[in-house]
Amino acid sequence: MKKILLGTSALVAAGLVSSQAMAVDPIKLSLSGWVSSVFVFGGQSHTPDRFDTVKWDGEIHFSGETKLDNGMKVGVQVELEAFTVKTNGTLAGDQIDEHFMWFEGAFGRVEVGATNGPGNKLHVFIPSLMPSHGVDTPDYFHFATPSWSSAGLFSTAPSDLRDMEDANKISYFSPAFGPFKFGISYTPEFEPGLNGNTCASTGGFGGQYGVCTKNNPGQWQHAIEGGGRFDFDFNGVAVAWSLGGMYASPEVHNSDYTNFWRFASGLSVTFNNFTIGGAYRWTNSGYKGKYDNVMFGLGATYTTGPWGLSLAWSQTRDQDGGHGNKTDVLNLVDGGVVYNLGTGVDLFAGAQWASFSGDCCGGPQSSGLKGYVGTKLTF
């Protein structure tokens, strides 16, 4: 599979050279992105949680493209976090988020760099209209995961920031074959929990100097991620279904690490301004024993004019093989209303309820209810 992806990249390069393709216009960067701010209030039991706070998130995208005289398009995108990233109380962190270049033509699309893989980009997530919220890969999560619980907020996609989401990779996306399209990617190595690979992606580091070392415990290599998506329309009823997965082998085989597997699927149905849907994801987290992590959930949305209503629920179940194969559980509910004030301006208000429970390490159950009011600007 790695050879196929590398061969695809080579074919793209050969096409650029053999046809002596020239850009009609040079690449010019443009700005886009989004920012959001939210006032949060409420409490959570058994945590040092204050009642109110103001949060902020956002990204500024630098993107550009050109069209060659052979019809191929070539582009680049670099995403800058619209806030100061702090890691461990310092000003160091991943200030640059995704960064990649792409080539697109009748053959499909090839992406090279630090960006989500095809399984993630083609995935059907749990529906939600709440800007930067929801229960599936939200930008905001207003609760603290107790120290005794391993059931933190995850994603239902075939990959996310807890494994190799933004690790440097080569991805191929097919053109649409009627209602179907697919994609596949190759990632040389990654380290879970660091949004990818410490050598070649985290913190915007590109690995320009030196080498990436091998045989590192806790890192996985030769990762293949793939996904497919169907989009149907039956007399005004739109159906979207996705199926994807990821595989990687550990750099070091020992009593702890094994092959990393992850499978995911999502389904949504839209009719008469209503959308209902759900998603499911399983992973063994790359560890031997009972370390399975499962996430699933349902969501429903409704739009009328500038108004939107949303309600969603998800559950994450995480087994801890080191504590008698016991399971920690997180239930999360998010819902509210959003109003589109104008192009790129959304006002919203909602609430999140969360409950952490389980029998892993004997901690007390922790639950809470948080309300939030905010604004999201898209440009």
- The residue among 279, 338, 275, 277 whose CA lies nearest residue 302 is 275
Secondary element (H or E) of residue 221: strand 220-234
Question: Which residues, including other chains, have CB under 8 Å from residue 17's CB and lie 6 or more apart?
Answer: none
| pLDDT tens sequence across 205-240 | 566 656 677 888 888 999 999 999 999 999 999 999
- Integer angstrom CA distances of residue 376 from 27, 132, 339: 29, 8, 10
Residue 148 confidence (pLDDT): 78
- Percent helix, strand and coil across the chain, each rounded to 5? 5, 55, 40
Kindly report which listed range (148-152, 331-335, 355-359, 365-369) carries the lowest average pLDDT score. 148-152
Look up residue 71 and give its amino acid.
G
In the chain, domain spans: 2-378
- Integer angstrom CA distances of residue 231 from 156, 164, 228, 268: 19, 26, 10, 10
What does pLDDT average to over the chain?
87
Question: Which residues, including other chains, have CB under 8 Å from residue 20's CB and lie 6 or more apart?
Answer: none
Report whether 40 contacts 372 (CB < 8 A). yes
**93: pLDDT confidence band, cut at 50, 70 and 90?**
low
For residue 8, pLDDT beyond 60: no
Q: If you search the block for the tokens 């560890």, which residue do you land on?
A: 287
Kindly report which listed range (3-17, 118-132, 200-214, 337-351) carries the lowest average pLDDT score. 3-17
Pairwise CA distance, residues 344 & 131, whole Å: 11
Rg (CA), the chain: 21
285-302: average pLDDT? 93
Q: Which two tokens stand for residue 129?
A: 């209209």
Question: Which residues, including other chains, have CB under 8 Å from residue 221's CB and lie 6 or more apart?
Answer: 188, 189, 214, 248, 249, 250, 251
For residue 204, pLDDT beyond 60: no
- The residue among 174, 170, 283, 157 whose CA lies nearest residue 224 is 170
Secondary element (H or E) of residue 124: none
| CATH code of the domain occupying 2-378 | 2.40.160.10
pTM (2 d.p.) = 0.88
Q: Which two tokens stand for residue 349?
A: 């208000």
List helix spans (H) across the chain: 2-18, 118-121
Residue 310 confidence (pLDDT): 98
